[in-house]
């Protein structure tokens, strides 16, 4: 089986470190499942600018039985793979191309549940900090907006802040956050790395977490004591291989599978009811 991981980051840095944890877990899961089934996994990691060449190189291997394409989706290329009759799974992405399988986390529902969790604590002013590469994940902002609607809370466009997943990005994020009027009481972050940087920046400005601001992560890097929604990325890698195995066992009758990995709440120490809500209860 072939496994191709795309790299969209032009330079080494904190954003790459933040995403490496996720891609590493998915690869480990795929390796384990392929080995269990007696398959070798030929894995490559390439810049997205060399994506087509890398896929072509993998497909030149006459022994290749199936392909997992991670974090990238190019419709023309996928249609070529269909013509070759090669079972293909898009991992950490989705696709509308017929006969192509997909495995990704349920970002929409995860974000919706995150907003509902914060709203249940009593937060009514919730900011969402999204990765500046907004094209890479359109589901989480949609889930954030649906969560606000389901909680009966207003949606303010300027409460969606695009930022880098770096310490510098977190500084700019908190600048914008603190400039909002009235000041929000909760911050939901694109991933745990950004949540970690945001907490450090809030504390540097003498703001207490969660007493003055609740911060909620959305999975990825393990951050001690952080409240976050976790996704089993290792299992996602395993599922991608399992889908390929089922497709190989029934090449003519196997319908495309589209798996959504759930987000599971992990309670840490970075979220609490807003101070005003606690005061009223007291």
What pLDDT sits at residue 138?
85
Closest CA to 31 of 44, 23, 45, 41: 41
Confidence label for 61 from pLDDT (cuts 50, 70 and 90) = confident
How far, in Å, CA of 80 to CA of 47, rounded?
A: 20
pLDDT at 179: 96
pLDDT tens digits, 239-282: 999 999 999 998 877 789 999 999 999 999 999 999 876 545 54
Nearest CA among 275, 210, 262, 270 for reference residue 236: 262
Answer whether 173's CB lies under 8 Å from 196's CB.
Answer: no
Cβ neighbours of residue 166 under 8 Å, at least 6 residues apart? 13, 14, 15, 197
pLDDT digits 0-9 by tens, 24-42: 899 999 999 999 999 999 9
Alpha-carbon torsion (144, 89, 242, 192), positive or negative: negative
Distance of CA 81 to the CA centre of its chain: 26
Nearest to 108 by CA among 202, 272, 229: 229
pTM, 2 dp: 0.88
What residue ranges define each of the domains in the chain, with the CATH number in brackets?
Answer: 2-105+231-262 (3.40.50.2300), 107-229+266-281 (3.40.50.2300)
The reported pLDDT for the residue numbered 102 is 94
Residue 216 CA: distances (Å) to CA of 29, 135, 188, 219, 261:
26, 22, 5, 10, 19
In the chain, the percentage of residues whose pLDDT exceeds 70 is 92
Which pair of tokens denotes residue 191?
Answer: 């991933």
Q: Where are the beta strands (DSSP E) in the chain?
A: 2-7, 42-47, 67-70, 88-91, 101-105, 126-131, 160-163, 186-189, 214-216, 228-230, 258-261, 264-266
Write out pLDDT tens, residues 113-155.
999 999 999 999 999 999 887 666 789 999 999 999 999 999 9
CA gap 84, 211 in Å, rounded: 58
Whether the ω angle into residue 277 lies within 30 degrees of 0, i.e. cis, is no
Please give the structure tokens belonging to residue 134.
């907004």
| Dist. CA 44–CA 116, nearest whole Å | 39
* Residue 13: pLDDT over 60: no
Phi, then psi, of 222 in degrees rounded to 5: -80, 120
Phi, psi (rounded to 5 degrees) for 262: -75, 155
- Cβ count within 10 A of residue 62: 5
Residue 156 is predicted with a pLDDT of 94
Mean pLDDT across 160-181: 95
Mean pLDDT computed over 69-82: 80
Contact 41, 5 (CB under 8 A): no
Report how far residue 66's alpha carbon sits from residue 47's, in angstroms, rounded to the nearest whole number.
21
Which one is predicted more confidently, 143 or 81?
143
Q: How many CB atoms lie within 10 A of CB 78?
A: 19
pLDDT tier at 11 (50, 70, 90 boundaries)?
very low
Which is it for the CA torsion 46, 50, 55, 59, positive or negative? negative
If one compares 154 and 50, the residue with the highest pLDDT of the two is: 154
Given a cut of 70, whether residue 9 has pLDDT beyond it is: no
Confidence band, pLDDT 50/70/90 cuts, at residue 10: very low
Tell me the C-alpha to C-alpha distance, in Å, between residue 116 and each of 111, 138, 216, 251, 265.
9, 19, 12, 42, 12
């Amino acid at each position: 089986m072939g496994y191709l991981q795309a790299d969209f980051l032009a330079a080494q840095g904190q954003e790459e470190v933040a995403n490496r944890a996720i891609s590493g877990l998915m690869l480990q899961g795929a390796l384990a499942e392929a080995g269990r089934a007696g398959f070798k996994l030929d894995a490559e990691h390439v810049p997205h600018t060399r994506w087509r060449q890398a896929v072509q190189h993998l497909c030149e291997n006459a022994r290749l039985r199936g392909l997992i394409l991670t974090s990238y989706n190019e419709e023309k290329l996928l249609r070529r793979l269909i013509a070759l009759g090669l079972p293909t799974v898009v991992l950490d992405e989705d696709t509308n191309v017929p006969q192509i399988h997909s495995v990704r986390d349920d970002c929409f529902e995860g974000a919706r549940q995150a907003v509902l969790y914060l709203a249940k604590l009593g937060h009514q002013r919730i900011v969402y900090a999204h990765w500046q590469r907004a094209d890479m994940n359109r589901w989480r902002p949609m889930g954030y907006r649906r969560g606000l609607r389901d909680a009966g809370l207003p949606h303010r466009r300027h409460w969606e802040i695009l930022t880098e997943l770096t310490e510098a990005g977190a500084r700019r994020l908190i600048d914008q956050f603190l400039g909002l009027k009235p000041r929000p009481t909760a911050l939901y972050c694109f991933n745990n790395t950004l949540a970690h940087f945001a907490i450090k920046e809030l504390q540097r400005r003498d703001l207490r977490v969660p007493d003055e601001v609740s911060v909620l992560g959305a999975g990825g890097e393990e951050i001690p004591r952080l409240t976050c929604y976790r996704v089993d990325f290792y299992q996602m890698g395993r599922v991608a291989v399992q889908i390929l195995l089922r497709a190989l066992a029934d090449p003519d009758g196997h319908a495309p599978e589209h798996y959504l990995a759930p987000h599971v709440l992990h309670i840490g120490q970075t979220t609490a009811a807003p101070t005003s809500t606690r005061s009223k209860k007291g």
